[in-house]
Each structure stands twice: as C-alpha cells, then as structure tokens.
Chains A and B, each alone.
Chain A
Amino acid sequence: MIEDIIGKAKLWKKGIPYEGFSAGQKFNHHWGRTITESDNLLFSTLTLSFVPLYFNRAYARAHGHPDIVINPQLIFNVTLGLSVEDCSEGLGGPFLGVYDLVYHRHAYPGVTLTASSTTIETRHSASNPANGIVTWVTEGHDQDGNLLISFRRSNLGHRREGSAL
C-alpha cells in the first residue's frame, strides 16, 4: 500500500543547480522571520556569547537601548538561513566563506527580518572542473526596510545537476 504511494509520488525538488545561476539575478527569499527574545536568549546562551547587551535588559537600557540587543550572529544566521533554498541548497557543495559582512544597525526583539540576494559571479573551479563556485551578495532588512546586515558569500557546487545536500 505505502509502496504504491511511494511509487507514484512525484518529488517536488528544492534548490537550484549550478547551471541555474547567472550574474545579476536577484532573489527575494521566502518566509521572513520575526526574531523573538527567546530566540535571542537561546542562541546567545547556546553559543556562550557572554555579552550582557544580548541577555540583560537593564544593562542594555543603561547603555541607551530600548531593550536587549539581538545578537548580531543570530541576524546573520537567520539571513543566511532564509537564503539557503534559493542559493545553496541545490548546489550540493559546502559554504566556502563570507566576506565584508557589515552589521548596519542594532535590532531588538520583535524585529521581522527578510532576506534578499543578488548573484554576482559564477565560475568553474580551477582545481576541479567538475565543480563550480557561485557568489552572492545577501542583505537582511527589517520590517521598515532598514538594512540590518549585508555580506558576500560563496558556495561550491557540482556542475550539472548534483545531489542536493
């Protein structure tokens, strides 16, 4: 019975293969995410980010903030996370690096983050011609359109449709 279902099911694949990328293409990534206080506390404590601005409201207020400050590495990880299905999920290769990351402003609990990316380069790997490298500039904005973060990242991918990780 379940074998029949599995046999006739059509896979709704996710991700874009290397050949689907070209310089200049723009993605407005799915979903967005509201970052809550509990997200921030859990992320900061699990990563041992012992900076009181990120988990002590009285301390943050004494430093001129209206609330605890969202750990910037959480802003980065949510922005990158929202970009994965469009950018790297179909490439099937590891994340090679992040450059020129700027935290443009503080964010506070309740902020709703959305992410967008522009492909800036696709090239064949010099060391292994079966691989390609794609580079994007990714930005994260808050609900009012303010830029919170920007960075450039590259991923390795298999040329031709590789197995998506």
Chain B
Amino acid sequence: MSAELSLTGAENYFEDFEVGAVIEHYRGKTITNLENVLITNMVMNTAQGHFNEDRMSRSPWGKILSYGGVNFSMVLGLASQDCCENAIQELGLNNIRLTKSVHHGDTIYAYSEVLEKSDSDREDAGVVTFRHYGVNQNREMVAQIDRKVLLKRRPAARRLSSHAPRAR
C-alpha cells in the first residue's frame, strides 16, 4: 500500500476537513461541445435541447442548453481532487439544485463547504458531507449539490511525514 500513498495529496484526509470550512477549488472549466454534447450522447440522454443547435436557435434560449447532469458532474469533478481524492467510496448525493442554465462557452468554477463529519463502521475512514457550489464566469450560481463521501483517515505512514505545507 505504501507506493499508493504517494499518488494522492497528503492534506485532504478525513482529519483535514473542519465543519464550516469553505474551499475555493483552483481550476475552472469551460463547457463546450466536448463536455455537453459528448457526455449527453454518451449517457444516452435523448433530450435534443442539449444537442440540436437548429431547433434550439428557434427556442426562447436561442442556443443549446448544456445538460444539467453534465453541469453538476462538472462541479463535482472540479471539487474532486480536493474533497475526494482520498475517498474510499462516494456514498450518495442529495439536494441537487440546478439554478441557472449553462450554454457552450460558459465557464464553471466550484466551491465546497464542509457540512458534516461522522465516524463510520471502518476504523480507517470517516464520512464527510460536502455542499458543492457551481458558479459561472459572472459569479452566478448554476448548481448546488450535497455529496456524502467515505474518506480515508490519515494513514500512520503519513502522520509524521515532513511534506511541505501547501501554499495557500
């Protein structure tokens, strides 16, 4: 197992998350055909508002709407390295709200808030519930999702390590 330890961050174990803490995730991502159309079609979502430009040009939106499942999966993805890199399992989602439409060319950024922490039936892991927020380039919220994750506790081999503190 020790070789695997070096593959993930050392500052995002169960112990590192404090209830109430809010994280701004470093990377944003622009939604294009590649994210929306590819994933919508790949998951066999047949709603053509997500992939028929001609039809949508005659709709009140005037252009393709990115599929909400893509939008919130992108928010969860953008938050994954910081919040779930050391996950054992993603247990579930709740309170998923899609608050604003997203079109190709919009850029999504993610923020996360630590809502709850609890012990689990495993000694080496605990449960953390995050509330993830997705925001567009105009700082408007596009999605909100609660995610419950079974997260590793810091392994003994990493307790005394002298890793350089992360610049914040």
Q: Which residues of A contact B (CB under 8 A)?
A: 14, 31, 33, 39, 42-44, 46-53, 56, 58-59, 62-63, 72-74, 76-78, 80-82, 84-85, 88-89, 94-103, 106, 151, 165
What's the minimum C-beta distance from B156 to chain A, rounded to whole angstroms? Answer: 16
B7 at interface, CB cutoff 8 A: yes
Nearest-neighbor residue (CB-CB) of A149 within chain B: B92
- State whether B98 touches A96 (Cβ < 8 A): yes
What's the minimum C-beta distance from B99 to chain A, rounded to whole angstroms? Answer: 10
Nearest-neighbor residue (CB-CB) of A77 within chain B: B43
Q: Can you give 28 contacting A-B residue pairs, CB < 8 Å?
A: A31-B44, A33-B43, A33-B44, A39-B42, A46-B35, A46-B38, A46-B77, A47-B73, A47-B78, A49-B76, A50-B81, A50-B85, A52-B7, A56-B7, A62-B1, A72-B90, A76-B73, A78-B43, A80-B43, A81-B40, A81-B45, A84-B45, A97-B96, A98-B93, A100-B94, A101-B92, A102-B92, A165-B65
- State whether B90 touches A47 (Cβ < 8 A): no
- State whether B44 touches A78 (Cβ < 8 A): yes
Count of chain A to chain B residue pairs whose CB atoms are closer than 8 Å in the complex? 129
What's the minimum C-beta distance from B25 to chain A, rounded to whole angstroms? Answer: 9
Interface size bracket, B side: 35 or more
| Chain A residues whose C-beta falls within 8 Å of the C-beta of B70 in the assembled complex | 77
| Chain A residues whose C-beta falls within 8 Å of the C-beta of B81 in the assembled complex | 48, 50-51
- State whether B96 touches A98 (Cβ < 8 A): yes
B139 at interface, CB cutoff 8 A: no
| Chain A residues whose C-beta falls within 8 Å of the C-beta of B48 in the assembled complex | 165
B80 at interface, CB cutoff 8 A: yes
B167 at interface, CB cutoff 8 A: no
Nearest-neighbor residue (CB-CB) of A48 within chain B: B77
Q: Which of B37-64 contact A (CB under 8 A)?
A: 38-40, 42-49, 59
Nearest-neighbor residue (CB-CB) of A39 within chain B: B42
| Chain A residues whose C-beta falls within 8 Å of the C-beta of B101 in the assembled complex | 94
- State whether B80 touches A106 (Cβ < 8 A): no
Q: Which residues of B contact A (CB under 8 A)?
A: 1, 3-4, 7-8, 27, 29, 34-35, 38-40, 42-49, 59, 65, 68-70, 73-74, 76-78, 80-81, 84-85, 87-98, 101
- State whether A14 touches B43 (Cβ < 8 A): no
What's the minimum C-beta distance from B30 to chain A, rounded to whole angstroms? Answer: 12
- State whether B38 touches A103 (Cβ < 8 A): no
Give Cα A148–Cα B77 distance, bound, in whole angstroms.
20
Most chain A C-beta atoms within 10 Å of own C-beta, residue among B81, B85, B90 = B90
